Structure 1
Amino acid sequence: MTRFVRLKSAVTGHPIAAVTLVGLLLVALGGAAELVAQKAVADQIREDPALSAADATVHLGDNWALAALAGQRMEEVDIVADNATLGPFTGVSLQVEVYGLRLGSAPEFERIHGLAVLDASAIAEVFKKEARGMGVTSVVMNSLEQTISVLTSGVSAPKQIVLRPESTPDGSFVLEPVGDAKSAEGVLPGQGAGLSGPQDPMAALGLKVQAVAVGRDSLRLVLDGDSGKLQS
């Protein structure tokens, strides 16, 4: 008996099993196609220069990638990056939620929300580079007072400079000297040093700082934005 005859016999002899087998094969093929589509969608989103440089990871959630490639609106897409650059700050953890994303030649979204986390070491590195004469040794976060203390060893600089992060009307943030630290404004990095104003992923995606909070070991920026486009 040939293989064809045996297969025909099996199909005609067990029609329910044959239909089940065909269904399983279609499901497997569909699942494989969806996996390929998921990678294609994630790659297209990551092509945005603001995200590619940050080595971002894209989570599609409950969205069907095959439908998304066909132009269907995605309810929510989550993007996570642990090595983003915001202005002078590097190694920033960035979480972005993109709502109403529709792919195409110019992917568009309806709204965007995010959270940026700058740890104390990243802030200290900026001060060490931008204010070398201060001899910055470390940065201490005070979550109770909502301030950041910059400790220095410079001869002409105060031993401690206390700063309070604040959001600004234009959607950026500044580190304002507090109390006795106001006398050190002349030795602090100025606005031109890039200590204020979101850049890179934040600016490219239209994210603006809505609120700031000092944690135990980091500065958290709550971000929000309106509709926009990905540069993919």
Structure 2
Amino acid sequence: MIELYYWPTPNGWKISIMLEECGLPYEVKTVNIGKGEQFEPAFLAISPNNRMPAIVDTAPADGGAPISVFESGAILQYLGRKTGQFYPQDERGRTETEQWLFWQMGGLGPMAGQAHHFRQYAPEKIEYGINRYTNEVNRLYGVMNKRLADRPFLAGDYSIADMAAWPWVVPYKNQGQDLNDFPNLKRWFETIEARPAVQKGFAVGKELRKPITDNEEAKKILFGQKARP
């Protein structure tokens, strides 16, 4: 059984989608990041960066004690190794997939997150910040659009690289983007969106997702973090 520590955000969706695609049984343990539950000691024991998602595999392949994993990219790799699905076993295929997985982790996710922040949540509308991150997301969408011009998915067959990137394209309007400007990306996005497992994974915890635009306490918790002793 996989215990999924989760809140319905793009990083959370990556893992609920992967679990559905793999057909692994899992139990959702919600971590309400707007209420500060990510700072509770029990959660920090498995996710010391106080970010979700995280998982605990209570039945790891080696038969030993439960294994906990934090960071969504590492979780996708772990589940891919565990199941042998959506993560190529050959060196060339694995390398191709990892490149695009890390591209999402280091580029698309952080830049889109900053675009969301400056466009929606920053107390002051800072034009430089809005333009900087909106334009960078636009550039990254262009990278994907070019990559997808002659192939259906980012790295060969449908893989964890696609599962990592797709959730960060879901809120494209909030990032100031228009998918019609990126026809190859739009085709890829709609192809993945139509997958039954993606629909099921995306729906996990949907009822919990509420806008925090006017929730000053939640914004203070999410955006006012500093190092804790």
Q: After TM superposition, is the score higher than 0.5?
A: no
TM-score interval w.r.t. the shorter chain?
under 0.3
Using the size of structure 1 for normalisation, the TM-score is 0.24
Q: Which protein shows a greater Rg?
A: 1
Larger strand percent: 1
Larger helix percent: 2
